[in-house]
Structure 1
Amino acid sequence: MKSHTTSFIGEPLFTPAYLAKLIVPLIIEQFLAVTIGMADTVMVASSGEAAVSAISLVDSITLLIVQVFASFATGGAVVSSQYLGQKDNASANIAAKQLLILSIMVSLVLMTICLPLRSNIIKVIFGSIDADVMDNSVVYFLFILISIPFLAIYNSCAALFRSMGNSKVSLAVSVLMNIINIGGNGYFIFGLGLGVVGAGLATMLSRIIGALVMLVLISNRKNSIFVYKLWKFEWHFEMIKRILRIGVPNGIEGSVFQIGKLLVQGITASFGTVSLAANAIANSVGSFANIPGNALGLASITVIGQCVGGKQYDQAVHYSKKLLGFTYFAMGIIVVPVFFFAPQIVSIFNLSAEATVLASSVIKTCMVASILIWPTAFTVPNFLRAAGDAKYTMIVSMFSMWIFRVGMSYLLALYMGMGLMGVWYGMYIDWIFRSICFIIRFVRGKWKTKRVI
């Protein structure tokens, strides 16, 4: 990579052109990832609010399951990136294969456990919900669970390509998956009238094909990281430990985060189908504002990971500030129009008048909170994880989730009678606390003392 002028001493590791080639495809990919969920929601809306609510509930549970093996992908990506920063490609290849083996094994176990218990899982988490919502949820959950191992493979391979600085591959495969998912939705939902069954089938097929394509691409020996002899089981305990050193804290953090969200979702479910539907739409639309932040978080694993692996801490600080600044700028481009056109956007989902008004109000508050505090609450901790400081982010996230998001949701939504809006205000308070903790940690520089490899 060619050098460019900058304020720190030493040759820069990444040019602006390199960063653009890494980040822009990631933003597009994150946009497409969000649209897969939204496509299911929008296209199944023709089957009624019960179907929309069912997909929302199942997606909430799925996020908890996916978080477990997604954390391994993060751990593998951090380890691989730091090895690439040390110019040790051989060790990066070993880490890549161990990541794939670990992700497949864990996802298969989770799928096997959850399949026969899916109706019980829904009942335990959400309690008493309308019968038609329950029936739709159980059916949709079946297809999503079957697709989980394939999603695990896709996520692991995508993380490895990002570690190489190649985000175009995961973007191309994501485009393919979106085409299959949306086309499948059109055929199964509108053509055959299958409702949530059609939405589940389309999502499952898109993930299966995406995983198979990724496996072929990651086995190419021309890559700086490649996985050879996929069929041959190998277990390198020391490498697994390195991955788990990041993956376990990240997995615990993410799982607790999703459990907290599910508890809060349970509060929302108690307000009835109108609040459930409004919350589902607000979550779908609100997630668009987070697209740049999520993309920059993924990019930081590559950029900050390679800086730390090469012991270039001044460059790690420089690029962290640069990535954070870009996050604010890019999120602003999305937040402003969504804020002003919230009612028109919500109207696309064909909800009842009451649900439409409620969803619009929630979205507007979400846009304000997103541009002010989301980046420091969720992009900055990715900088810390990339450096190996995963335990700190885990502790802060767990504390903040239970005390603020869950605790304040109960206080504001139930005891103070604020309903769905109280749930969202509790979440914003959680974001503020996280931001304060992560900014202090980054500025003090304790993350520079952490070691992964």
Structure 2
Amino acid sequence: MYNKHSLYFMSATRKINMLEGSLWDKLIVFALPLAFTGLLQQLYNAADVAVLGRFVSDLAVAAVGNNVPVFGLIISFCMGLSIGVNVVVARALGMKNDQKASEAVRTSFITAIVFGIFALLIGQAFANSAMDWLDVPEEVRDYALIYLRVYLLGMPFIAIYNFLAAVFRSQGDTQTPLWALLIASLFNIGGNLFAVLVLDWGVAGVALATALANLLSAVILFVKLTHLDGPLKLDVSQLLKVDGASLKSIVRIGLPAGVQGAVYALSNLVIQSAINSLGPEAMAGSVAAFTIENSVYCFINAFALSATTFVSQNYGARNLERCSRVMWVTMGLNMCATVLLTAGVLLFCRDLLGIFSSNEEVLALGMIRILWVLVPQPLSVVMDTLSGSMRGYGYSMPPAMVTLVVVCSVRLIWVYTVFPLTPTYETLMMVYPLSWVITMAGLIILYVRLLRRIRNRRQMVEDAI
């Protein structure tokens, strides 16, 4: 049994000094647990797909694949908001303002609960409509609707986990959220097998096991945070004291990132609807490949979030030169990791797809998606690292707007003009790298202009002094 002081010591040893010393090793130590946390989050979906594919049917797999963009829409908004938590708390820590950090933590928890309940209610209200919007085939519709409704029961806990994980991340602790998710993932795998093989609950049982696993991960972080000492301690007796200034900052930074992720996911919903028109095999192949490529993206996203946190703390400490170094070092590490992981996936591609299905047509379609979406992932490295760095400075709206306007417009135009002329699965996949190239160019221009503006502002302050 750990006492209060030993719990504090364990947390303290996981903190990273982001303001001094070398960067590359600290970024790796910070990013790797974060990447594995993302992998475990993907494992929730992968475990559902694998169990249903092996013990139920390809139609059940297609039902999960149909809902992936729907979950992406909601969860992306949630994770975007949590970036606001990360930036606000990290900046307060960089400024040595413990009271501000404490107020932000408390406000974050209440915001997570409100958002999670709101997402649950909205999701349930529009579940049937979502099936119509996505043009889900009749043979898949019942499975898809059941999975969506049950999965949504875990939304409040998904929100709480992501917001509290952002709190731990703000001080450099990416290990605690990882351990919490590892325990929940093991629970989810066991729950999936029990629900399908013992209870014979099929799709509903798998979704319920996932919702309960989300509850478990949220509870672990909540209990851990209430036992901390220092500014990040979550004081249960003062939970209802929401700090207006902290809430405003969290929303100002997190909302654009959340809207970006949500609208980004909305464009994927349009693509998913087009995939659905090609039949259950295309749906199953797409979700299998998506699960693999998203595992690689977990590392891209982890390094981007690392840039956000490191830049936030150093910007709070007014060290602009170190902020710039953070971006370049993160970009290099991110690119190396992505290239190595992509090469590994390509080497074992067919075996990895075989985990989810033995259907030859499903495997062939999955291979097409991997070649068109996974291989160009270095483009995402540049996009996400630049966006993450800009959010660290507190500039969340500009990269969000660039990404929204370019990605969504390119994908919508492609789906409604090019795809009808050549309605094949490969035609749909081509739009991903095309939209990334154009977006990347816009973000590079935006980042250069942002740095120039920040440096000019600092020069004006120094001249005034």
What TM-score does the superposition give when structure 2 sets the normalisation length?
A: 0.89
Per the TM alignment, residue 51 of structure 1 is displaced from its structure 2 partner at its CA by: 0.6
Matched AA of 1:428: P
Q: How does 1:287-302 map to 2 (within 5 A)?
A: 287-302=294-309
Match of 1:432 among 433, 437, 442: 437
- Paired residue for 1:111? 120
CA distance in 2: counterparts of 1:233 and 1:47, whole angstroms: 45
CA distance in 1: counterparts of 2:385 and 2:362, whole angstroms: 31
Structure 1's unaligned 5+ residue stretches are 2-10
- Paired residue for 1:75? 84
Report the more deviating stretch, 150-159 or 392-401: 392-401
Per the TM alignment, residue 340 of structure 1 is displaced from its structure 2 partner at its CA by: 2.8
- Paired residue for 2:48? 40
Structure 1's consecutive aligned runs of 4 or more residues displaced over 6 angstroms after TM superposition are none
Report the more deviating stretch, 325-334 or 343-352: 343-352
| Contact kept in structure 2, 1:389 and 1:450, CA below 8 Å | no
- Paired residue for 1:394? 400
Question: Is 1:377 equivalent to 2:360 in the alignment?
Answer: no
CA distance in 2: counterparts of 1:150 and 1:119, whole angstroms: 23
Per the TM alignment, residue 14 of structure 1 is displaced from its structure 2 partner at its CA by: 5.4
CA distance in 2: counterparts of 1:387 and 1:51, whole angstroms: 44
- Paired residue for 1:27? 35
Question: Is 1:248 equivalent to 2:259 in the alignment?
Answer: no
Report the more deviating stretch, 74-83 or 298-307: 298-307
- Paired residue for 1:63? 72
- Paired residue for 2:462? none
| Contact kept in structure 1, 2:34 and 2:302, CA below 8 Å | yes
Q: How does 1:44-193 map to 2 (within 5 A)?
A: 44-45=52-53, 46-123=55-132, 125-127=133-135, 129-193=136-200
Question: Paired residues, what number?
Answer: 438
CA distance in 1: counterparts of 2:376 and 2:412, whole angstroms: 18
CA distance in 2: counterparts of 1:183 and 1:304, whole angstroms: 39
- Paired residue for 1:420? 425
CA distance in 1: counterparts of 2:452 and 2:220, whole angstroms: 40
Report the more deviating stretch, 440-449 or 159-168: 440-449
Q: What SS class does the counterpart of residue 430 from structure 2 fall into? A: helix
Question: Is 1:312 equivalent to 2:319 in the alignment?
Answer: yes
CA distance in 1: counterparts of 2:237 and 2:167, whole angstroms: 15
The superposition leaves residues 340-382 of structure 1 with CA deviations (integer Å, 9 ceiling, x where unpaired) of 32222212222422221121122123232113x1201222211
Q: What SS class does the counterpart of residue 405 from structure 2 fall into? A: helix
Per the TM alignment, residue 85 of structure 1 is displaced from its structure 2 partner at its CA by: 1.0
Q: What SS class does the counterpart of residue 376 from structure 2 fall into? A: helix
CA distance in 1: counterparts of 2:320 and 2:361, whole angstroms: 52
The superposition leaves residues 132-174 of structure 1 with CA deviations (integer Å, 9 ceiling, x where unpaired) of 3110111111221110001100001101100010011001101
Report the more deviating stretch, 286-295 or 170-179: 286-295
Q: What SS class does the counterpart of residue 232 from structure 2 fall into? A: coil
CA distance in 2: counterparts of 1:419 and 1:98, whole angstroms: 48
The superposition leaves residues 64-109 of structure 1 with CA deviations (integer Å, 9 ceiling, x where unpaired) of 1222332221111111111111111210110111111112112212
| Contact kept in structure 1, 2:196 and 2:206, CA below 8 Å | yes
- Paired residue for 1:352? 359
Report the more deviating stretch, 104-113 or 19-28: 19-28
| Contact kept in structure 2, 1:404 and 1:427, CA below 8 Å | no
The superposition leaves residues 267-319 of structure 1 with CA deviations (integer Å, 9 ceiling, x where unpaired) of 11111112111111121111122121111122222211101111111101101
| Contact kept in structure 1, 2:106 and 2:239, CA below 8 Å | no
Distance 1:230 1:320, change over 3 A: farther
Distance 1:327 1:16, change over 3 A: closer
Per the TM alignment, residue 177 of structure 1 is displaced from its structure 2 partner at its CA by: 1.0
Report the more deviating stretch, 243-252 or 65-74: 65-74
Distance 1:190 1:449, change over 3 A: farther
Per the TM alignment, residue 223 of structure 1 is displaced from its structure 2 partner at its CA by: 4.6
Q: How does 1:164-313 map to 2 (within 5 A)?
A: 164-229=171-236, 232-313=239-320
CA distance in 2: counterparts of 1:201 and 1:447, whole angstroms: 50
Match of 2:371 among 359, 364, 372: 364
- Paired residue for 2:446? 441
Q: What SS class does the counterpart of residue 228 from structure 2 fall into? A: coil
| Contact kept in structure 1, 2:73 and 2:262, CA below 8 Å | yes
| Contact kept in structure 2, 1:277 and 1:355, CA below 8 Å | yes
Q: What SS class does the counterpart of residue 375 from structure 2 fall into? A: helix
What TM-score does the superposition give when structure 1 sets the normalisation length?
A: 0.92
| Contact kept in structure 2, 1:342 and 1:364, CA below 8 Å | no
CA distance in 2: counterparts of 1:418 and 1:344, whole angstroms: 28
CA distance in 2: counterparts of 1:389 and 1:83, whole angstroms: 16
Matched AA of 2:20: P
Per the TM alignment, residue 425 of structure 1 is displaced from its structure 2 partner at its CA by: 1.1
Q: What SS class does the counterpart of residue 337 from structure 2 fall into? A: helix
Per the TM alignment, residue 190 of structure 1 is displaced from its structure 2 partner at its CA by: 2.2
Matched AA of 2:437: I
CA distance in 1: counterparts of 2:446 and 2:125, whole angstroms: 43
CA distance in 2: counterparts of 1:289 and 1:333, whole angstroms: 10
Per the TM alignment, residue 230 of structure 1 is displaced from its structure 2 partner at its CA by: 5.7
Per the TM alignment, residue 386 of structure 1 is displaced from its structure 2 partner at its CA by: 1.4
| Contact kept in structure 1, 2:308 and 2:390, CA below 8 Å | no
Q: What SS class does the counterpart of residue 290 from structure 1 fall into? A: helix
Distance 1:223 1:16, change over 3 A: farther
| Contact kept in structure 2, 1:281 and 1:359, CA below 8 Å | yes
The superposition leaves residues 237-280 of structure 1 with CA deviations (integer Å, 9 ceiling, x where unpaired) of 22211111112211221221111111111111111112111111
